[in-house]
Amino acid sequence: MTEPCNIAAILPRLAAEAPERIAMRCPGTRGGDGLARYDLTLTYGELDARSDAIAAGLAKHGIGRGSRTVVMVRPGPEFFLLMFALFKAGAVPVLVDPGIDKRALKQCLDEARPEAFVGIPLAQLARLLLGWGRGHVRRVVTVGARWGWGGATLAQVEHDGAGAGPQLAATAPDEIAAILFTSGSTGVPKGVVYRHRHFVAQIDMLREAFGMRPGGVDLPTFPPFALFDPALGLTSIIPDMDPTRPAKADPRKLVDAIARFGVTQLFGSPALIDVLARHGAKLPTVRRVTSAGAPVPPAAVARMRALLPDDAQLWTPYGATECLPVAVIEGRELQGTREATERGAGTCVGRPVPPNVVRIIRIADAAIADWSDDLVVPDGEVGEITVAGPTATDEYFRRPEATALAKIRERLPGGGERIVHRMGDLGWFDAQGRLWFCGRKSHRVETAQGALYTEQVEPVFNTHPQVRRTALVGVGRRGAQRAVLCVELHRKATRRERDRIEGELLRLGGSYPHTARVERILFHRGFPVDIRHNAKIGREKLAAWAAKKLGAKA
């Protein structure tokens, strides 16, 4: 009998092989030093058995195969038990970043049309007050105390399913496994449709790309990534931090968890990696660091590498919610490209992960229905990055216009077809077959002299010792935009200091033809960033701010 295509299918096998192995540790009580004791644990045996009971209980409460189910639960045992129970049941978890604008969140949930809502009491209260899922939600499960909104508690659901035995729906590869909303850093969040085959392919590609083997100890600072750990046979240490604010994480707490449990690998956004790197504590047990969500500044890579053992690896995979992983590069090779990046080449994101097919096509904002090899630009030329492969998702949920703009249908020579995903990112291939990221397509600045790309301009100016980061924005009509550089400094500066720094930056930009086109420097107190990784700069907001400062239209 063929095993169902399901990310949870491996869990019973791992539970049978090593039932007492810790699957995850979560912060619980605190000691006198203020540090979490991580006394909330789940073994593989417990995760498997309890998620079976919850899956059976959910079915008794009307949440089963195909039920779109919003999950608004804090990272902890309940979150992981619920997610694996939903996968086992063949239900469709709907995940939305809770920190996004409340109007955007309501729009996401209205689009998803969830039939069930599982959340903590605060989320349930917000659902009622703000009308989340109104007219669609018919099943409610509360994680914690149930107040006056009806439904069941998670404890009740688990009790009702106890003793039902193994649960695993016979899900097919093309069945919808989950709807994961993007962070909305470049617009309204979109619900990415993940099919079961996408999750299974991600597990295989991550295992091979990074050499992940059972028995490792992972510190995943972005909770959804922790869902991969049980399928990879790893132990997850869920960090004591607010996952929506990685830039504000307390490095002392992270280092304590790493040392106490012998963490061998960690995942973090560039903002989180920067927090650890600046803290400066050595991490002797860590053998693998993975950072994604935005380009990792070369200086942060260098600082982080200095804290790791000589044989440790620091990977910066490139991808997106719609397709991950796409390409990878190890820190040593990335450091070797630093000089080219600081001269304006872009950020090297490495070589495509097999079996991905990555191609660069001409820059265009309109939809492309059918693939043609004539779209592809020569190596060395900047264009839009496209990916075809087993993790490339094929649609956004109830967003046909967005799907049309991001997906191309490619007919294959031997028959059949596949979806080519347009990343919305710009880049180019060098002679060694390495991919260089040049910025988002929507963030390009179209001047009268030609286009400028954020990741080819900003690193030049970021070399200034007093600059924390910069953001290139365009002010005015596309095709005649003024190139404006927004600058965030490491520390507050006087007007006289800012005047001096401005002059130095303009002279620095004059070193290269493309950066010489930057017309104005504007200092900003603190850039807006995405709520998921705290690393993607909100350039749309900065463009509007710059236009207002200059008395022009964005």
Output the DSSP codes for 50-74: HHHHHHHHHHHTT--TT-EEEEE--
**pLDDT for residue 501:** 98
pLDDT tens, position by position, 207-262: 888 888 888 999 998 877 788 898 888 999 999 998 888 889 999 999 999 999 99
Per the CB < 8 A criterion, the answer to whether 420 and 392 are in contact is yes
- What percent of the chain has a predicted confidence (pLDDT) above 90? 80
Phi, psi of 398, deg, nearest 5: 55, 35
Peptide bond into 352 cis (omega under 30): no
Q: Which of 321, 272, 317 is nearest to 295 (CA)?
A: 317
pLDDT tens, position by position, 108-123: 999 999 999 999 999 9
**pLDDT for residue 227:** 86
DSSP 8-state secondary structure symbol assigned to residue 14: H
Instruction: Measure Cα distances from 363 to 5, 29, 353, 409 in Å.
Output: 37, 53, 23, 18
Phi, psi of 469, deg, nearest 5: -165, 165
Q: How confident is the model at residue 311 (pLDDT cuts 50, 70, 90)?
A: very high
Q: How confident is the model at residue 1 (pLDDT cuts 50, 70, 90)?
A: low
Q: Judge whether residue 509 has pLDDT over 90.
A: yes
Q: How confident is the model at residue 134 (pLDDT cuts 50, 70, 90)?
A: confident
Burial of residue 153 (number of CB atoms within 10 Å: 0-12, 13-18, 19+): middle
What global pTM score does this model have? 0.93
H or E element in which residue 423 lies: strand 417-429
pLDDT tens, position by position, 334-379: 989 999 999 999 999 999 999 999 999 999 999 999 999 999 999 9
**pLDDT for residue 553:** 59
- CATH number of the domain at 19-171, please? 3.40.50.980
**pLDDT for residue 215:** 87
Distance from C-alpha of 318 to C-alpha of 283, rounded to nearest angstrom: 24
Count Cβ atoms below 10 Å from residue 517 Cβ, excluding itself. Answer: 17
Both tokens of residue 540? 């749309």
Q: Which of 415, 387, 465, 419 is nearest to 205 (CA)?
A: 387
Peptide bond into 317 cis (omega under 30): no
Phi, psi of 3, deg, nearest 5: -70, 140
Exposure string (b/e) for 315-329, b if CB count within 10 Å is 16 or more?
Answer: bbbbbbbbbbbbbbb
Q: Where in the chain is the domain with CATH 3.40.50.980?
A: 19-171
Q: What is the third-level CATH fold of 444-550?
A: GMP Synthetase; Chain A, domain 3 (3.30.300)
Q: How confident is the model at residue 465 (pLDDT cuts 50, 70, 90)?
A: very high
Q: Which of 247, 195, 540, 108 is nearest to 391 (CA)?
A: 195
**pLDDT for residue 424:** 96
Return the beta strands (E) in 201-281 as ranges: 217-220, 235-237, 265-268
- What percent of the chain has a predicted confidence (pLDDT) above 70? 98
Q: Which of 497, 467, 502, 473 is nearest to 485 (CA)?
A: 473
pLDDT tens, position by position, 250-296: 999 999 999 999 999 999 888 899 999 999 999 999 999 999 887 78
pLDDT tens, position by position, 21-74: 999 999 999 988 889 999 999 999 999 999 999 999 999 999 999 999 999 999
pLDDT tens, position by position, 392-445: 999 999 999 999 999 999 999 988 999 999 999 999 999 999 999 999 999 999
Distance from C-alpha of 445 to C-alpha of 475, rounded to nearest angstrom: 8
Q: Where in the chain is the domain with CATH 3.30.300.30?
A: 444-550
Q: Judge whether residue 481 has pLDDT over 80.
A: yes
* First and final C-alpha spacing in the chain: 60
Distance from C-alpha of 539 to C-alpha of 543, rounded to nearest angstrom: 6
For residue 143, what are the contacts with CB-CB under 8 A and spacing of at least 6? 73, 78, 82, 118, 119, 120, 153, 154
**pLDDT for residue 102:** 79
**pLDDT for residue 186:** 63
**pLDDT for residue 31:** 87
* Torsion of the alpha carbons at 241, 247, 248 and 254, rounded to the nearest 10: 40
Q: Judge whether residue 302 has pLDDT over 60.
A: yes
**pLDDT for residue 552:** 67
Q: Mean pLDDT over all residues of the chain?
A: 93
**pLDDT for residue 198:** 97
Mean pLDDT of all residues in 313-318: 92
**pLDDT for residue 147:** 84
Phi, psi of 92, deg, nearest 5: -120, 95
Mean pLDDT of all residues in 455-482: 96
Mean pLDDT of all residues in 305-323: 94
Q: Which of 85, 272, 105 is nearest to 181 (CA)?
A: 105
Q: Which of 437, 234, 260 is nearest to 334 (CA)?
A: 437
